[in-house]
Structures are given as C-alpha cells and as structure tokens.
Amino acid sequence: MVNYKYQIKAVTTDAVVFSMINQKLNCLLIKRNIEPFKDFWALPGGFLKTNESSDDAFERELIEEAQFGIEGLNYKNQFKSYSNPNRDPRNDKNYQIISIAYVGITNEEKISKENIEIKGGSDASEAKMFPVSDIFSKYKNEIAFDHIEIIEDAKNYLAEKIEKESLALNFLDSEFTLTDLRRVYEELWDRKLHPSNFERKINSIDNFIIKKNKTKLTGSNRPAQIYKKGRVSKILIVNNS
C-alpha cells in the first residue's frame, strides 16, 4: 500500500466467560506466557489472523489458550469494542490495538458434559476460573491490560439482560433450586434479594421455570423444591436497587 496516511490498526478479541461455582460468579482467566504482561492474568484472546472474522478468532483463542471449545458455552455474544489509545503498551503513534469483546455463559454441568478440561495452551501457561469478587479485589493488580474494565462491562451487560431475558438460566444446571437462581441475580446485581419476594416474582412468570416432582436437602437439611428451565425467553424482573 503506497502513501498510506492512516495509523495502522490491529484487531484482537477478548473472551469473558462466566460461570457460577459454589453460588459465586466466576470468570475464566489465563496466565500470559509472553510480553507484555508476562505472568499476569488476562482474558483469553488474541489477534485476528488474515481474513479471519472476530467470531472465528474468539472461538479459536478460547480453544488455543484455555482448551475451552465453543460447545462448552450455553450463550455467547459480542458486546463491546475497546479502542482507548492507552489500553495497550504496544500502541504508539503509528500503531493501535483495538479489542472486540465477547461474553459467554457456561456452567459446571455443561463443562462436564462436553468433557472440557480447562488448562493453558499456546500463549497461556495456565487457565482457570476465578471468583469475580476476587478479580476486582485481591487480584486487581495482577490483571493485564484493561481487562478489569472489560470484565466489569461484561458483568453489567448481563445484569441488564437478565431483567428482560431468561439468560440467568444459562448459568444453571438442568435441575436447580430457587436459591440457585436467586444467587445468579444477586451476583450480577451486587445485592441481596428477599427470598420470598423473589420466589413470588419468579413464580408469577409463566413458563420461566417449571416445578419438578422432587426436592433435595439443602445445607440446613431442609427440603428445597427442584425446578427445570421453561421455554419462555422474554421476562420482566426489574432491578429496583
């Protein structure tokens, strides 16, 4: 290309994969094995190859860096791009790296069913799930690039979506309790919900969840009703905080 007068742009993808583990919101991170930010934790991701779409790069990087195939996700969507010139130390007046961020939802049942073993590969020496609350606190100085911001934006994106869509169910196994469902909302909304009020609201939505003819004992040795996922996709559960 002759006399190209514009700054060269490079495009990457970043994958924010969430799961509920022990009723806490977790996020998949990899430990970088290359500079910049070698030995820092980061989101799985990397540069688009020649004539590669961002969707394909998102799927490829998840497999390469975390051994996590796309079949392990219950939900995925592109949600935002990041172009702050200061977001990557490799940026300069001639070169800028822009990231396209994706969010995904999985659960332990799905990971087990698809025989996924999360581990590092390619540019990543390790890969594992971290509680999001820990990422935002004790690990915040060990996270590369602007990935704290991306994780927070992805969490807020889902926090809004679960008000009007049944996405919260993607965090849950095929059978679950109302406490399990309530914990998803509490983790994404960052606040406690009144159990009885939450139960009334959920049960007022036709075909959102379906009661099964079984219970299980909880930690307090009290029987909890078991539910399965319904078929409705549009709901309304307003976050009144």
Q: Is 117 a catalytic residue?
A: no
Q: Would you say 10 and 97 are in contact if contact means Cβ atoms under 8 Å apart?
A: yes
Q: Would you say 189 and 179 are in contact if contact means Cβ atoms under 8 Å apart?
A: no
| Encoded tokens for 61 | 């990087």
If phi over 0 gives left and psi between -120 and 50 gives alpha, with beta otherwise, what is residue 190? left
Please report, as a single letter, which amino acid is at residue 140: K
| Helix, strand, or coil (residue 178) | helix
| Encoded tokens for 189 | 């909304």
What element of type H or E holds 81?
A: strand 75-82
**Is it true that the peptide bond before 36 is cis, omega within 30 degrees of 0?**
yes
Among candidate residues 64, 108, 114, 126, the one labeled active-site is 126
- Enumerate the active-site residues: 126
